[in-house]
Amino acid sequence: MTDVDVQTFFPQVQNKSSRVMLRILKWRVVREYNAAILRAAETFQPDLLLSFKAQHVQARTLRALRGHGISLYNYYPDTSAFAHGPLLARSLPEYDCVFYTKRFWDQDVRRLVSLRESTYIRHGYDEAIHRPIELEERDKAQYQSDVVVIATHTKYKEEVLHGLLGLSPRLNLTVWGNQWRQSCTSARVKQFVKGEPLVGDSYAKAICGAKINLALLSGTVRGSSRGDETTTRTYEIPACGGFMLHERSPELLELYKEGEEVACFSSPQELAEKIDYYLAHPEERGAIACAGHRRCVPAYSYDNRMAEILRWHEETGGKAPKWQQPLPVGTMSGAKG
């Protein structure tokens, strides 16, 4: 088992001039990345490849791997297949199966490209990362807040927070994540943007340090017919033991009991009211967080999700893998972007 991590090829740069340089070099880096995948396959001779979205994997790379008898799978966690660069429209049809996490995704994609096989599978959490962490004093100073949002910026999320802050301008809010500093246009929201994306223990600490974790959905994005109903946060917040205040959706309510394992909202007005209520009722907040954790762990782990993929692989005639443990997210050619 080996991992070819895209982030070791595409660094997460913030300086404008660095981003321009990376765009200039993009296709050279893409070629090097795909060459690294082929070298890894030649060295380790895997039975299967599991890509995590893998927007930089080329169709010809997948065809070369298939020529060596390697089963090709893609775990696709995003709302749209057409908002992450031009390669996916050509590469997705090359996978033996795409495992998608949004129920409407398959219909959206098949309007434009043909897929060999596809099947729905839920998001999950990583047991090695998403777990309760006791904060030290320096962690408390950095991560404690009444309300936290940890998510990549979208216009929809910004609009929700703009409406919330219009109702609760003195809210102790912290916003972390990609593109907030670059893309946020709301002066109300900008003042609460604290920093860049959080990963690993920093992410878990920020969840544990907040009294209320907001799970905002992405809204409709380019290439999708509608907005999502769950996100990775739907699983990661409870896995860390955090109290989750989630946008209400039918899919969410299949996973957690409202008022017992999760709190929900459907408008900025209801969101402001729920925040006021749960900040004033810490014991109830704690009980819901504990119940949500019990519901999520271990049932919604990525280990269980990967076990589903392996069952699909074996039941459809795939060769049983040589290793025994379920595949981690990002095996061979993908990583969280």
Confidence of residue 224 (pLDDT cuts 50, 70, 90): confident
3-state secondary structure of 149: strand
pLDDT at res. 331: 38
Confidence of residue 329 (pLDDT cuts 50, 70, 90): very low
Cβ neighbours for 133, distance < 8 A, ≥ 6 positions apart? 201, 204, 205, 208, 240
Please tell me the distance from the alpha carbon of residue 53 to that of residue 75, in angstroms, as a whole number: 6
In the predicted model, is pLDDT for residue 163 greater than 80? yes
Lowest mean pLDDT among 12-21, 37-46, 290-299: 12-21
pLDDT at res. 297: 98
Please tell me the distance from the alpha carbon of residue 198 to that of residue 212, in angstroms, as a whole number: 17
Query: pLDDT over 70 for what percent of the chain?
Result: 89
In the predicted model, is pLDDT for residue 74 greater than 90? yes
pLDDT at res. 312: 93
Express each pLDDT in 192-202 by its tens digit: 999 788 999 99
In the predicted model, is pLDDT for residue 226 greater than 50? yes
Confidence of residue 9 (pLDDT cuts 50, 70, 90): confident
pLDDT at res. 223: 80
Please tell me the distance from the alpha carbon of residue 96 to that of residue 63, in angstroms, as a whole number: 11
pLDDT at res. 39: 94
pTM comes to: 0.87
In the predicted model, is pLDDT for residue 33 greater than 50? yes
Lowest mean pLDDT among 45-49, 92-96, 298-302: 45-49
Q: Which helix (H) or strand (E) holds 52?
A: strand 48-52
Q: What is the arithmetic mean of pLDDT over 209-216? A: 98
Q: What is the mean pLDDT of the chain?
A: 89
pLDDT at res. 295: 98
3-state helix, strand, coil in the chain (%, to 5): 45, 15, 40
Contact 321, 128 (CB under 8 A): no
In the chain, ranges of CATH 3.40.50.2000 domains: 137-296
Q: Higher pLDDT residue, 331 or 174?
A: 174
Residue 150, by phi and psi: left (phi above 0), alpha (psi -120 to 50) or beta?
A: beta
- The label of the residue with tokens 């981003």 reads 19
In the predicted model, is pLDDT for residue 84 greater than 70? yes
Please tell me the distance from the alpha carbon of residue 61 to that of residue 167, in angstroms, as a whole number: 52
How many helices (DSSP H) and strands (DSSP E) are in the chain?
14, 10
Express each pLDDT in 103-115 by its tens digit: 999 999 999 999 9
In the predicted model, is pLDDT for residue 164 greater than 70? yes
pLDDT at res. 11: 60
Lowest mean pLDDT among 107-116, 214-223, 227-236, 306-315: 214-223
Query: pLDDT over 90 for what percent of the chain?
Result: 77
Assign domain 6-124+301-315 to its CATH architecture: 3-Layer(aba) Sandwich (3.40)
Confidence of residue 73 (pLDDT cuts 50, 70, 90): very high
Assign domain 137-296 to its CATH architecture: 3-Layer(aba) Sandwich (3.40)
Confidence of residue 227 (pLDDT cuts 50, 70, 90): confident
Report H helices in the chain. Answer: 16-44, 59-67, 88-91, 105-110, 137-143, 155-167, 180-183, 187-190, 200-209, 233-239, 250-255, 268-279, 282-296, 302-315
Express each pLDDT in 130-150 by its tens digit: 999 999 999 999 999 999 999
Could you tell me how many residues make up the chain? 337
